[in-house]
Structures are given as C-alpha cells and as structure tokens.
C-alpha cells in the first residue's frame, strides 16, 4: 500500500535503505520491481539519447582540444552533461545495488581522470560530478539532515568538479522530477 504523503513516497521510491515502516518498505520494493520489468519504460528512447550525448561529448572535446576557435562545437558539447545526469538519476532509481553502481562509476571516473590529467585539466572530470550527485541523492534519501550535511560538504568541494555544484544539483533535480510522476 503506498504511503499517503508525497514525501514518504519519494523517500521509499529509490532503494528502500533508509525507510521506516514495513508497509512503506514493501511498497517501495514493489515499485522498484515494476520499474525493473523488461517492459517498463522509465526513460523511453534512452539509448538514442545516449548516442546523441556521446556525439555531443565528442564535439565538445574536439572543440576544446583540436579546434579551440570553433566555439560552436563547445556549445553543442555542453548538451551532453544533462543527458548523462538524467541517466545517472534513472540508474539510481532502478539499481539493485547502490554500492556496486557507485563503485562502477568511480572506476570509470578514475580511469578517465588519468587522461584528463594528461590533457592538462586541473579539475575532476564530469563523471566525478555524476558520482557526487549520486552520493548526495543517497544522503537525501537517508534524511534531510544527512542531505543538508552532504550539500554543505559538496558546496565546499564544488570548485574541484568539472561542472561545479550546478552539475551535482542537476542529478538531484532530475531524480526528484522523476519521482513526481
């Protein structure tokens, strides 16, 4: 049985780790199983969106490193991060194991960071920003106090991320937008 208030529903919806009450936790598990069904369309057209985002990311990197005077490549390339942030939010809502999901994202971020240092970037790449957004999502799902503490920590560390605090907020925004519908 779904909880009556919207706040309780959003708390249970993600993974169910920080839920209180057996009914809410059971409802959350049933909702997640509906989302994991092969026919459940959490994000229709996801693969096409990822391909477009990957092409935009390639355009961004070509504009940044090979053709720095072609500013329009950078503009096209900035469309990639919101799509990847949406993918991270959808993945967070549908994952069976948050630690494994975060671990895979951190391994990807670490491998990509080696190339970023070679290219002379002085900040952490966009995958680290996505990982920070996921950690902040998890903290907010565990309670408002944990979420606000995490928000304060990420606000202080945001200058090290590629997209800053705005990128971290974008992951939060997409997940809470998904939870409303």
Which range is least confidently modeled, 8-17, 51-60, 130-139, 147-156? Answer: 8-17
Residue 174's Cβ-count burial label (10 Å; 0-12, 13-18, 19+) is buried
pLDDT at 23: 55
Q: Which of 73-87, 119-133, 143-157 has the lowest mean pLDDT?
A: 143-157
| Residue 49: HSE in the Cβ half-sphere, 13 Å Cα cutoff | 14
How far, in Å, CA of 57 to CA of 41, rounded?
25
Report pLDDT digits (tens) over 16-28: 445 444 555 555 5
Give residue 14's pLDDT.
43
Residues 150, 139 contacting (CB under 8 angstroms): yes
Buried b (16+ CB within 10 A) or exposed e, 54-66: eebbebbebbeee
Interatomic CA distance for residues 26 and 108, integer angstroms:
33
Q: Where are the domains of the chain?
A: 1-40, 41-180
Measured over the CA atoms of residue 153, residue 158, residue 161 and residue 166, the dihedral's sign is positive
Summarised one tens digit per residue, pLDDT across range 53-70 is: 999 999 988 988 889 898
């Amino acid at each position: 049985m779904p909880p009556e208030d919207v706040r309780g529903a959003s708390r249970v919806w993600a993974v169910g780790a920080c839920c209180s009450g057996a009914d809410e936790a059971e409802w959350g598990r049933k909702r997640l199983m509906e989302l994991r069904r092969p026919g459940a369309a959490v994000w229709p057209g996801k693969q096409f969106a990822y391909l477009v985002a990957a092409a935009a990311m390639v355009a961004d990197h070509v504009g940044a490193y090979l053709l720095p005077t072609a500013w329009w490549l950078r503009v096209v390339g900035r469309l990639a991060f919101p799509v990847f942030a949406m993918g991270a939010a959808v993945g967070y809502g549908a994952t069976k194991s948050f630690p494994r999901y975060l671990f895979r994202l951190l391994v990807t971020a670490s491998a990509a960071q080696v190339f970023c240092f070679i290219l002379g970037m002085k900040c952490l790449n966009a995958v680290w920003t996505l990982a920070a957004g996921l950690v902040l999502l998890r903290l907010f799902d565990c309670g408002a106090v944990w979420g606000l503490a995490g928000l304060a920590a990420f606000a202080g560390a945001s200058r090290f991320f590629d997209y800053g605090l705005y990128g971290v907020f974008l992951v939060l925004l997409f997940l809470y937008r998904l939870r409303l519908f």
